[in-house]
């Protein structure tokens, strides 16, 4: 098989990361594989991030191509990534958050995989968390994933059945034409956009590969990051959009798995006091719950229907400890329970 030297487009949104941008930039500049274009998106950062970055780029003399694209106003993470996608020239794109970094041989590890499995849609890398997190789902070396598979049913299931393929968009090398062909862009105006993006991506992947090499270093101590600073209202409104889009695009092949995932998301992400105290949010939340009940009833999933009915009770009742235990039992992923009990392994080509 011919060894190719594909161009990789690394897309880095920049906003309020003056403390971290040097670390991020340096990790890209030190890559052992250098057929890379790196697109920094200035999302109107109000701090010195872009000044620092500009000085660094002026001093760089290597073979990696760097550029900064500026938004005329702050548009958010999703829009910044979409700008990067539309300006990417590489055969594959890679999303990197500007408060994280990549390992020195990150792109080299990915390119070795795409040269071995030419035309692969997505390659998932292994992630190191700093500080370490026990049982992190991002550290895929602990999971029994195949090195490469074209089993589309397995792929679709494995994004939503534990141990799941990470649903974050970072640390995935994604074929650019695959993105264009399937119109895979990030939903703008929401947070938790990765869950929305990967839901649709998972249904369209024809082949995927995995590397156990640490390719990405994720820092979990940035107090200004989107994940740590998002407010409850925006979270709820975002999940309302995400879950409605999921319910409108259920894949029949894995509909039971997706219903369980959506039900559990409702339980874990949206059972909050703020919903109960806001008439609009409560009304919208109950619409989603009722839609889920209709889906489960049509599938004759009686126990999960009963679990979802608890979600319609007044907050002080469904938030009680006993009620939450009942909900968890009724919504339990029994498919996963029996799969573990009988040690049914994931399928895939190794």
pLDDT in tens, 224-245: 554 444 466 788 788 888 988 8
Cβ of 80: how many Cβ atoms within 10 Å? Answer: 28
SS3 (DSSP) at 135 = coil
In the chain, where the domains are located: 8-227, 231-338
- Of 59-68, 80-89, 261-270, where does mean pLDDT reach its minimum? 261-270
Q: Tell me, what's the pLDDT at 42?
A: 97
Cβ of 344: how many Cβ atoms within 10 Å? Answer: 11
Chain segment 65-79, per-residue pLDDT in tens: 999 999 999 999 999
Superfamily (CATH H level) for 8-227: Spore Coat Polysaccharide Biosynthesis Protein SpsA; Chain A (3.90.550.10)
pLDDT bucket at 121, cuts 50 / 70 / 90: very high
Cβ of 267: how many Cβ atoms within 10 Å? Answer: 18
Q: Tell me whether residue 295 is exposed, middle or buried, using C-beta atoms within 10 angstroms of its C-beta: 0 to 12, 13 to 18, 19 or more.
A: buried
Q: Tell me, what's the pLDDT at 278?
A: 77
pLDDT bucket at 45, cuts 50 / 70 / 90: very high
Structure tokens at 140: 């895929």
Chain segment 133-180, per-residue pLDDT in tens: 766 777 887 788 999 999 999 999 999 988 899 999 999 999 999 999
| Residue 35 pLDDT greater than 90, yes or no | yes
Q: Tell me, what's the pLDDT at 261?
A: 86
> CB of 307 within 8 A of CB of 263?
yes
Q: Tell me, what's the pLDDT at 126?
A: 94
Q: Tell me, what's the pLDDT at 229?
A: 41
Question: In what helix (H) or strand (E) does residue 341 lie, and over which residues does it extend?
Answer: helix 334-341
Q: Tell me, what's the pLDDT at 94?
A: 98
- Across the range 21-36, mean pLDDT stands at 98
Give the dihedral of Cα atoms 245, 151, 335, 184; nearest 10 deg. Answer: -10
| Residue 187 pLDDT greater than 90, yes or no | yes
- Across the range 257-272, mean pLDDT stands at 76
Q: Tell me, what's the pLDDT at 287?
A: 81
| Residue 31 pLDDT greater than 70, yes or no | yes
| Residue 205 pLDDT greater than 60, yes or no | yes
* Cα-Cα end-to-end distance for the chain: 18
| Residue 343 pLDDT greater than 60, yes or no | no
* Helix ranges, 124-278 (H): 152-158, 176-181, 193-202, 226-229, 232-247, 255-270, 273-277
Chain segment 266-318, per-residue pLDDT in tens: 777 666 667 777 777 778 778 878 887 887 777 666 766 777 777 777 777 76
């Amino acid at each position: 098989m011919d060894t190719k030297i594909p161009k990789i487009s690394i897309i880095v949104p920049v906003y309020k990361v003056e403390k971290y941008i040097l670390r991020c930039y340096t990790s890209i500049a030190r890559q052992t594989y250098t057929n890379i274009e790196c697109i920094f998106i200035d999302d109107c950062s109000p701090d010195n991030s872009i000044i620092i970055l500009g000085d660094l780029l002026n001093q760089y003399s290597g073979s990696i191509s760097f550029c900064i694209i500026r938004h005329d106003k702050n548009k958010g993470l999703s829009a910044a990534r979409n700008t990067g996608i539309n300006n990417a020239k590489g055969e594959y794109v890679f999303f990197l958050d500007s408060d994280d970094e990549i390992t020195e041989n990150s792109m080299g590890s990915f390119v070795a995989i795409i040269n071995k499995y030419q035309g692969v849609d997505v390659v998932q890398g292994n992630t190191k968390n700093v500080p370490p997190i026990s049982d992190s789902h991002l550290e895929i070396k602990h999971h029994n994933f195949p090195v490469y598979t074209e089993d589309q049913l397995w792929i679709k299931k494995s994004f939503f059945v534990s141990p799941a393929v990470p649903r974050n968009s970072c640390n995935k090398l994604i074929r650019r034409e695959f993105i264009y062909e399937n119109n895979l862009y990030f939903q703008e105006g929401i947070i938790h956009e990765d869950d929305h993006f990967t839901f649709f991506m998972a249904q369209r992947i024809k082949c995927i590969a995995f590397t156990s090499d640490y390719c990405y270093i994720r820092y979990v101590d940035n107090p200004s990051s989107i994940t740590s600073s998002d407010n409850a209202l925006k979270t709820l409104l975002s999940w309302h959009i995400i879950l409605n889009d999921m319910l409108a695009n259920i894949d029949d092949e894995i509909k039971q798995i997706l219903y369980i995932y959506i039900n559990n998301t409702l339980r874990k992400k949206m059972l909050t006091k703020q919903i109960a105290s806001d008439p609009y949010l409560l009304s919208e939340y109950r619409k989603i719950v009722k839609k889920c009940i209709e889906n489960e009833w049509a599938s004759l999933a009686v126990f999960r229907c009963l679990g979802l009915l608890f979600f319609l009770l007044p907050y002080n009742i469904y938030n009680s400890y006993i009620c939450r235990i009942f909900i968890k039992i009724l919504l339990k992923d029994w498919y996963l329970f029996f799969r573990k009990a009988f040690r049914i392994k994931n399928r895939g080509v190794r």
